[in-house]
């Protein structure tokens, strides 16, 4: 067996075409996975060529990520027709939220939001970037043949990019791998798209066609692998997201007992047991009340903010909004405790948030709340980086938070991680090349 991070030599010197929608200056978690793979692929003798849209509509921007793009990487672009650009004429705010995954609770959706969701789910299948498929296939068919491309990887969401790989494979008989950063028909927001029966059937048919046609499938969690194994006999490989070496100057910890959440705080991730536990600790303990601060970094839904307010926590919130990735890393490493929340649903057991791995190397303890059987719970436990609780464990949550607070008072609060190297971006790139 090869040593960790040292792949076989069979793919060295070959060109790999990566078809992705998210690329700097896009912000958010979707851009990180392939930005980092591209960073390390040349160290394994693989030449990446990245295909991206020329004129994308990104809901989040982070210009700082442009500095992380290898200067020697080949990047090719083609124009994309973006329905989100048209939709913004009706409601720019609603369009931006929906395109970034922030979907209001069904009972609180406006008429325009309901209309946008119906159009998104029923007219643009599998997603709003499907109009990029046909022109991309036309352009890339010629490019692949003229430039000695050996293998294609498509990464989704948006899952319409997998249709580009499917069509290229049909035309050119080229090796194609489909990378799923998230599931397709079982992703958390899929049921919010107000799908007709025929639209739902088309989504599932396309999903199965991609899974059974790709030469191999890459997923980010064991649960997604198990789900896809019911649909295809093709090999499925789990390659999680990971952490990279961040050149961030060490900062003193926050003076307050900060509980920090980094990233989008969606309506469905509203942990009422946490707000209740914090409100009770504030009422019961004067020292906790004087020291506590809830730090929110990233877009936060109105439903979450309303729940925080109803729990009487408004005065304890420090909301920084969306910040560049480098700033987010600094803030998380300054925080006393890091909060990770996933939707309480069987559909989200497979979700391993990308920020988990950056959390793990921050040396700050993690408090994670999610569904029973969540894949990321096993990672937290095996790496000794924090605690995982379900939505029914409020009293245990209170005990853990107060225990961390007592360590904070003593000046001894930190995590003691083990076995993190397997999740380094460089090592994971080695695992990818083994699959290639």
The distance in angstroms from the start CA to the end CA of the chain is 16
Domains of the chain listed by start with CATH number: 9-243+425-435 (3.40.50.2000), 257-410 (3.40.50.2000)
Mean pLDDT (the chain, rounded)? 89
In this predicted structure, the answer to whether residue 114 has a pLDDT above a threshold of 70 is no
Tell me what pLDDT residue 25 has.
96
Kindly list the distances between the CA atom of residue 56 and the CA atoms of 85, 126, 130, in Å, as whole numbers in the listed order. Answer: 9, 17, 13
Per-residue pLDDT tens digits for 253-297: 999 999 999 998 988 889 999 999 999 999 999 999 999 999 999
Closest CA to 417 of 367, 356, 362: 362
pLDDT computed for residue 255 by the predictor = 97
Query: Which is nearest to 151 in space by CA: 8, 12, 16?
Result: 16
> Is residue 91 predicted with pLDDT exceeding 70?
no
Q: How confident is the model at residue 95 (pLDDT cuts 50, 70, 90)?
A: very low
pLDDT greater than 70 at residue 392: yes
Looking at residue 156, what is its pLDDT? 97
When mean pLDDT is compared across 39-43, 150-154, 182-186, the lowest value belongs to 182-186
pLDDT-derived band at 82, boundaries 50, 70, 90 = confident
Query: In the predicted model, what is the mean pLDDT of residues 118-122?
Result: 69
* Banded model confidence at residue 169, pLDDT cuts 50, 70, 90: very high
Q: Contact, 277 vs 312, CB < 8 A?
A: no
pLDDT digits (tens, 9 = 90+) for 404-432: 999 999 999 999 999 999 999 999 999 99
Report in angstroms the alpha-carbon separations of 274 from 171, 269, 368. Answer: 53, 11, 11
Residues 197-241: tens digit of each pLDDT: 998 999 999 999 999 999 999 999 999 999 999 999 999 999 999
Higher pLDDT, 99 or 352: 352
Residue 4 banded pLDDT, cuts 50, 70, 90 = very low
Alpha-carbon gap, residue 267 to 259, rounded angstroms: 19
pLDDT at 87 over 90: no
What's the pLDDT score for residue 184? 92
- What is the Cα Rg of the chain in Å? 22
Question: Minimal CA–CA distance to 132: which of 55, 24, 28, 33?
Answer: 55
Mean pLDDT across the stretch 130-134? Answer: 96
Whether the per-residue pLDDT at 111 is higher than 90: the answer is: no
Residue-wise pLDDT for 359-371, tens only, equals: 999 999 999 999 9
Mean pLDDT of 31-50: 96
Q: Are 425 and 432 in contact (CB under 8 A)?
A: no
The 3-class secondary structure across the chain, one letter per residue, is CCCCCCCCHHHCCEEEEEECCCCCCECCHHHHHHHHHHHHHHHHCEEEEEEEECCCCCCCECHHHHHHCCCCCEEEEECCCCHHHHHCCCCHHHHHHHHCCCCCCHHHCCHHHHHHHHHHHHCCCCCCCHHHHHHHHHHHHHHHHHCCEEEEEEEECCCHHHHHHHHHHHHHCCEEEEEECCCCCCCCCHHHHCCCHHHHHHHHHHHHHHHHHCCEEEECCHHHHHHHHCCCCCCEEECCCCECCCCCCCCCCCCCEEEEEECCECHHHCCHHHHHHHHHHHHHCHHHHHHEEEEEECCECHHHHHHHHHCCCHHHEEEEECCCHHHHHHHHHHCCEEEEECCCCHHHCCCCCCHHHHHHCCCCCEEEECCCCCHHHHHHHHHCCEEEECCCCHHHHHHHHHHHHHHHHHCCCCCCCCCCHHHEHHHHHHHHHHHC
Q: What pLDDT band is residue 249 in, cutting at 50, 70 and 90?
A: confident
pLDDT at 8 over 70: no
- Please name the residues in contact with 205: beta carbons below 8 A apart, sequence gap of 6 or more: none
**Average pLDDT of 47-61?**
94
pLDDT recorded at residue 190:
66
Res. 165: pLDDT tops 80: yes
Both tokens of residue 426? 């460089």
């Amino acid at each position: 067996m090869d040593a960790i991070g040292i792949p076989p030599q069979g793919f060295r010197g070959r060109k790999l075409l990566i078809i992705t929608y998210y690329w700097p200056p896009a912000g958010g978690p979707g851009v990180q996975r392939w930005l980092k793979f591209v960073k390390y692929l040349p160290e394994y003798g693989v030449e990446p060529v990245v295909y991206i849209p020329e004129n994308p509509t990104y809901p989040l921007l982070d210009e700082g990520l442009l500095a992380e793009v290898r200067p020697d990487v080949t990047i090719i672009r083609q124009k994309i027709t973006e329905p989100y650009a048209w939709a913004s004429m009706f409601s720019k705010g609603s369009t931006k939220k929906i395109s970034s995954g922030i979907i209001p609770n069904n009972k609180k959706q406006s008429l325009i939001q309901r209309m946008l969701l119906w159009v998104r789910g029923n007219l643009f299948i599998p997603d709003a970037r499907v109009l990029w498929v046909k022109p991309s296939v036309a352009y890339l068919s010629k490019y692949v043949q003229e430039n000695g491309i050996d293998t294609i990887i498509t990464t989704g969401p948006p899952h319409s990019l997998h249709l580009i790989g499917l069509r290229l494979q049909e035309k050119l008989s080229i090796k194609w791998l489909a990378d799923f950063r998230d599931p397709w028909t079982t992703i958390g927001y899929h049921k919010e798209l107000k799908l007709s029966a025929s639209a739902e059937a088309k989504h599932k048919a396309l999903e199965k066609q991609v899974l059974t046609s790709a030469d191999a499938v890459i997923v980010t969690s064991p649960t997604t692998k198990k789900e896809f194994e019911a649909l295809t006999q093709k090999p499925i490989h789990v390659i999680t997201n990971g952490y990279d070496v961040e050149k961030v100057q060490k900062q003193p910890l926050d003076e307050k007992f900060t509980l920090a959440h980094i990233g989008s705080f969606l309506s469905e991730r509203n942990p009422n047991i946490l707000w209740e536990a914090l409100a009770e600790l504030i009422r019961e303990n004067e020292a906790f009340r004087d020291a506590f601060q809830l730090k929110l970094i990233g877009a936060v839904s109105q439903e979450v903010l309303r729940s925080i307010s109803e729990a009487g926590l408004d005065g304890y919130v420090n909301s920084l909004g969306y910040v560049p990735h480098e700033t987010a890393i600094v803030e998380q490493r300054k925080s006393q405790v890091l909060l990770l929340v996933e939707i309480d649903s069987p559909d989200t057991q497979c979700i391993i948030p990308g920020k988990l791995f950056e959390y793990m190397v921050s040396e700050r303890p993690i408090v994670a709340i999610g569904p029973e059987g969540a894949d990321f719970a096993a990672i937290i436990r095996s790496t000794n980086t924090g605690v995982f609780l379900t939505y029914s464990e409020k009293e245990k949550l209170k005990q853990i938070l107060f225990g961390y607070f007592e360590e904070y008072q003593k000046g001894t609060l930190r995590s003691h991680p083990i076995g993190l190297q397997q999740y380094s971006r460089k090592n994971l790139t080695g695992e990818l090349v083994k699959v290639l």
